[in-house]
Amino acid sequence: MPDLTETEADMTGVPAPAAAKPSVEAIGDRKLKASTMMMGHGYDPSLSEGALKPPIFLTSTFVFPNAAAGKRHFEGVTGKRPGGADGLVYSRFNGPNQEILEDRLGIWEEAEDALAFSSGMSAIATLFLSMVKPGDTIVHSGPLYAATETLIARILGRFGVHWLDFPAGATREEIDAVLRRAASGNVAMIYLESPANPTNALVDIQAVAASRDAIFTGETKPPIAIDNTFLGPLWLQPLKHGADIVVYSLTKYAGGHSDLVAGGVLGSKAHIDTIRSMRNTIGTICDPNTAWMLLRSLETLELRMSRAGENAAKVCAFLRRHPKIERVGYLGFLEDSPGMERQADIYRRHCTGAGSTFSLLVNGGEKEAFAFLDALKIAKLAVSLGGTETLASHPAAMTHLSVPDARKQALGITDNLVRISIGVEDADDLIADFDQALAAI
C-alpha cells in the first residue's frame, strides 16, 4: 500500500504515516521465490494488532487524517494526478485486503502492477472498456472462452467495435496476414487465450509479438493481452514472451477450492493505471472477503497446481491407451503426436508444464459423451476448472452452447469433446473412476 514520504507530507500538508515494516524480498543475494513471498508479502502484522494473517476489512469507507489528505487521494482516484490514490478512500476504489492481494499477484510473473476484480469476466470487460472505442478493431485468437467471444462480437459489436481473429495455432505468416488486414483501421488490442478453451491449442505469443512489432509502430502499436487462466502462473508466464497484459479468472487455480469468483489483470504500471481508472468508475473490484480468501489460497497455489499436474500426467497416460477414446488433447503428448510439431515447438518455448486441464474426445458423439459424464462417481459434472476436485463438462452443450454451430465446428468444439480438469485426489482412484465411466458407453 502506498505511503507518503516526509517530503511529500511537507508539500501537501498530509502527515506521513508511521513506517511499516518492509516485506522481505531477498536474503543476502538470494531472491525469494514467489511461493515463499505468498506467506507475508505486503502485510505488516504490527499495523493490525499483531495478527499473523490480515484481518478482513469490512468497511465501505475510510477516514481521512485531514482534508488535504482527502483531496490528494481523490486527485489520484479521479485521474487528475497519475498513479491512483496515496491511501485508502472507498471500497469501490481500494481496500487493505485487495491491495495486499494485488501486491502478491504481481510477484508470480514479476509484473509491475496488478488489479483484482469481482470475476474473470469483469476483469476482461473492464480491460476492453478501458482501451477500446467505437470504430476500433480487436484482433484475437480463437477459440476464446465463450463469454469473451460474446462480449467482443455481440456486445462491443453493438457499439461499433470490430473484430478479426486467427486460429490459436496460427503460424507467423497467418498472424501477419490478419494483422495487416486489421491495420487499415485502428487496432486497439490483440487479445489471446492460450491454451484455447476448450481445445487446448497453444498460441505462439512470441510470433504474435514479432508480427505486431513489425507491422505497427509508435502510438499505433496495440498492446497484447492474454488470458492465462489455464496454465498460469506456474506453467506459463506470458510477460516473458512478449505479452503486455495478463488476465486471469482467479476463480480457477488461484482460488483453487471452487468457493469464490474473482478475476485479475497484471502488467505494466502504465497499462494498469488505465484499467484502474475504469475499474474505479464502474466498480468491478472484488470484495474484501473474496480478497482475503484468495490470500489464503495463494499460499498453497504451487502445491495444489503441482499435485494436479502430476495427477493429470498419470490419468492422461491411462486414457490415451483406452479403446473408447479417440484422442486426448493433453499438452504433455505434443512431443510425440504426428502433425503437432508446431504445437510442440510452441510448448517447448513457452511452457514449463502441461497443466491439469485437457480435452477428451470419446468415440461417438453427444450420446456417448453424455453416457460417460453421467457415469462418473468421483469426478463432478460441473463447469470451471483448477479446483481441488476433478471436474468434467461438455463444452458444446454447456459453456460454448451460445457459440454458433458453424463456428464450433470450425474451432473443433465437437459433440464428442469432453473437458476434464484434474484435481488433487489420488491419481489411481481417478483412473478407476474414468475406467468404469468409459465402460458405460
| Residues 27-71: tens digit of each pLDDT | 999 999 999 999 999 999 999 999 999 999 999 999 999 999 999
Considering the domain architecture, whether residues 217 and 329 belong to the same structural domain is answered as: no
Q: What is the pTM of this model?
A: 0.91
Beta-ladder partners of 380: 391
Q: How confident is the model at residue 12 (pLDDT cuts 50, 70, 90)?
A: very low
* Shared-domain flag, residues 349 and 202: no
Overall average pLDDT of the 355-384 stretch: 96
Whether 220 and 287 share a structural domain: yes
Are 343 and 427 members of one domain?
A: yes
- Find the mean pLDDT for residues 430-436: 98
With a cut of 50, say whether residue 10 has pLDDT above it: no
13-27, 253-267, 295-309, 344-358, range with the lowest pLDDT: 13-27
CA-nearest of 198, 300, 194, 309 to 255 is: 300
Indicate whether 74 belongs to any domain: no
pLDDT band at 405, cuts 50/70/90? confident
Task: Lowest mean pLDDT of 241-245, 255-259, 368-372, 409-413, name the range.
Answer: 409-413
The answer to whether residue 5 is domain-embedded is no
Does residue 272 sit in the same domain as residue 340?
no
Asked, for residue 264, whether it belongs to a domain, the answer is yes
* pLDDT attached to residue 14: 43
| Domain end point (choices 282, 298, 314) | 298
Last residue of a domain, one of 298, 333, 357: 298
Q: Is the pLDDT of residue 258 over 90?
A: yes
| Residue that the C-alpha cell 500538508 belongs to | 13
Number of domains in the chain: 2
**For residues 9-35, average pLDDT:** 67
Residue 345 sits in a domain whose CATH number is: 3.90.1150.10
Angle at 440 between CA 435 and CA 441, to 5 degrees: 105
Does 11 score more than 80 pLDDT?
Answer: no
Concatenating the DSSP letter of every residue in 280-328 gives HHHT-PPPHHHHHHHHHHHTTHHHHHHHHHHHHHHHHHHHHT-TTEEEE
284 and 333 co-located in one domain: no
Same domain, 366 and 226: no
The residue out of 298, 315, 338 marking a domain boundary is 298
Amino acid 197: pLDDT: 83
Q: Where are the alpha helices (DSSP H) in 201-262?
A: 205-215
Looking at residue 86, its pLDDT comes to: 85
Q: What are phi and psi of 129, to 5 degrees?
A: -65, -30
- What rounded mean pLDDT belongs to the chain? 92
From 135-139, 348-352, 409-413, the region with the lowest mean pLDDT: 409-413
pLDDT for the residue 239 = 98
Does position 15 have pLDDT exceeding 70, yes or no? no
Range of the domain at 223: 110-298
pLDDT confidence band for 198 (50 / 70 / 90): confident
Interval 167-184 mean pLDDT: 96
Same-domain status, 347 and 241? no
Residue 250 has pLDDT above 80, yes or no: yes
Predicted confidence at residue 433, as pLDDT, reads: 98
Q: How far is CA 158 from CA 92, 154, 281, 291, in A?
A: 28, 6, 21, 33
Instruction: Tell whether 29 is covered by a domain.
Output: no
Using an 8 Å Cβ cutoff, are 331 and 355 in contact? Answer: yes
In a domain, 170, yes or no: yes
Radius of gyration for the chain, computed over Cα atoms and rounded to the nearest angstrom: 23
The whole-number average pLDDT for the span 233-243 is 97
Residues 129 and 245 occupy one common structural domain: yes
Answer yes or no: are the C-beta atoms of 204 and 348 closer than 8 Å. no
Which of 230-234, 295-299, 403-407, 435-439 has the lowest average pLDDT? 403-407
Determine, yes or no, domain membership for 223: yes
- Give the pLDDT score at 377: 98
Q: State the DSSP H helix or E strand holding residue 182, giving kind and residue range, or none if neither.
A: helix 172-182
Q: Are residues 171 and 311 in the same domain?
A: no
> Confidence band (pLDDT; 50, 70, 90) for 22?
low
Q: What digits encode the pLDDT tens for the residues 78-124?
A: 888 877 788 999 999 999 999 999 999 999 999 999 999 999 999 99
45 dihedral zone (left: phi>0; alpha: psi -120 to 50; beta)? alpha
CATH of the domain at 220: 3.40.640.10
277 and 381, same domain (yes or no): no
Please determine, for residue 19, whether its predicted confidence score (pLDDT) is greater than 70: no
Asked if 266 and 118 sit in the same domain, the reply is yes
> 325 Cβ partners below 8 Å, 6+ apart?
319, 360, 361, 362, 363, 438
> With pLDDT > 70 as the criterion, what percentage of the chain qualifies?
95
